[in-house]
Each structure stands twice: as structure tokens, then as C-alpha cells.
A and B are shown apart, each in its own frame.
Chain A
């Protein structure tokens, strides 16, 4: 049993869908899960708020709670004018959250355990931040890279600030990817223990219950991590947007 086997991206349909520049594009298990996540979250949220009841049902209040949760998060991190980015942050949050939770279903595939997916999401965030920054402040957005320091030092400090800024998409994506990868690998490793101990025979078969119980505990922890990482992704998006909107320097 290879614990990394669950992360293999494999085509579900043998024939490529189409070609881009000579590269065949396949319909993979990852693509399927992304479509499922998108459809389920969209359909769920649409139908949850459809009744529009004054006293919400359980499902409606779930949708309203997530709406208010993200709304409060954006408000506290970026202030009033950040609320126009609500759709962007909410979509990101729901997508990451649902991907993480769908990954917890046994036998499914964790979309966010692929660095390609998380890096693409993080690059979208940083690209938005850059576009918003230049649209709001024009060329003055570059002041973000100029700390308060004497002029000779700026030759050293500005490249450092630029590299520090360019680090953001990487640390943002690696954090989500590494957390999901580590959690799911851990689960698979302990599941492997259960199987090999269970077939070992004698007293060892009885011991197999220990890693089994541990899996239950790790599963709970992973559910927490799934939510927490979606939250961290969303709030860091808010913090970066806040910097682009208000050009706070860090000092």
C-alpha cells in the first residue's frame, strides 16, 4: 500500500479531450472532482437561499452563516471598501473549503493536495492584488516596495521587498498544499498499519485496533485543518487585498 497513491492524477477517459499546442488534455479524476465541488457548492448555495424565509431553515442558515462569516472577515481585515471583493473572496473560500471536505470522503480525490491547483489559486489572488493596486493608486502602488530608509539603503531594500512580495503566492499555495498532503498521507500510513497488523496474526491482530482509533482522531483533526486552511487562505487574500487598497506599510 503506497500512501502517496491517492495523489496520482490519472485520466478517467483514455482518449484525450482535445489538444493544446500538441499537448493532449485529458479528463482526469482531478478535473472530475473540481467540477463536482463547483457544481455541488453552487447548487447547494443557490437552493439553500431560495426560500428566503425570514426564519431560516437549517440549510438556509448554513448558507447565511457562511455568508456572514466571510463578510465579517473581509470587513475586519480590509474595512468598508473591501466589501466589493466579497464575491471573489467568498468563491475562493467556498471552493477551497468544499475541495478540502470532499477530499475527506474516502476514495475521493483531494483537489487542494495538488500544488498546481493551489498555485493557480494563489497566483489568481496575487494577480488580482496587483491589478487592484495599480487601478486604485496608479504608479503609486510601487510605493509598497519602498520602505522608509535612507536612499543608499533603498538599492538593497527595494529588491528585498520585491522578492518578499513575490514569495506570497508560493507561501500561500505551499501552506494549503502541504497541510492537505501531510494530513492525507498520515491517514493513509495509519490505514496501512491497520491492514498489515490485522493480517499479522496472533496478538498483533488485536493491536490493530490502536491505529484504527488513532485514524478516527486524525480524521477529526483533519476536518478542523480542512476548515482552518480554507479560512487562512481567505483571510490572507483579504490581508493582501487590504495592502493593495490602503498601501499600509509594514513598519
Chain B
């Protein structure tokens, strides 16, 4: 039984090789998954922008400047831009995933 550590080490290295070959990859999302993701990103950014602007307006109102609804309008626009930015980023990310999956198969 003197060779047991050697055999274990051998087994360990073979397992490592196998695991390196099948490293976990993010599966490319389904069509509905992509659609849901884009919708959430867009709407969430609009809500955050609107909420932020509303908050700034409220604070300004408390101090005594009647800015409402200027900041809210500006921030909703910025939120829309941020939403589109998020969607573009998400699309780029998904494209990268799909590309990674494709090069794997070839």
C-alpha cells in the first residue's frame, strides 16, 4: 500500500485536467430571458432617474427653492439615457457570452 499517495496524486492531477477542460461557462440566456432583462434595465433606470429627480426637487422645496418639476424632468431624461446605456451594455455582454459559446463548440 506504499503507492497509495502516488495513485491519489495521479488521480488528483487527472481530475484537475478534466475540470480545466469543462470549466463552468455561463449559458447564453433564452430569448425571453434577454427580452425580460432589457425591459427591466430600461424601466429600472427610468424609475431611478424619476425618483432621484423627485427627491432633489423635494429637497429644494424644503430649502425654499421652487424647482419642481425641473429636476424631475431632467433626471427622467438622464434616466432614459442611462437605461439605453444599460441595455447596450447588457447586449454587449450577451453577445460576448454567445461568442464564447460558439468558439467552444468549434
Contact = CB atoms under 8 A, between A and B. Distances in A.
Interface of A: 54, 69, 72-73, 76, 156, 159-161, 163-164, 166-167, 170-171, 174-175, 178-179, 235, 250
A170 B49 contact: no
Nearest to B25: A76
Contact of A235 (B26, B44, B47): B26
Q: How would you classify the secondary structure of chain A's contact residues: helix, strand, loop or mixed?
A: helix
Given A171-B41, A175-B36, A250-B89, A163 B48 contact: yes
B45 interface: yes
A171 B40 contact: yes
Given A160-B82, A163-B48, A171-B44, 12 more contacts: A76-B24, A156-B78, A161-B85, A163-B45, A163-B75, A164-B85, A167-B86, A170-B48, A174-B40, A175-B36, A178-B36, A179-B36
A160 B85 contact: yes
Contacts of B26: 235
B52 interface: yes
B23 interface: yes
B23 A166 contact: no
A174 B83 CA distance: 15
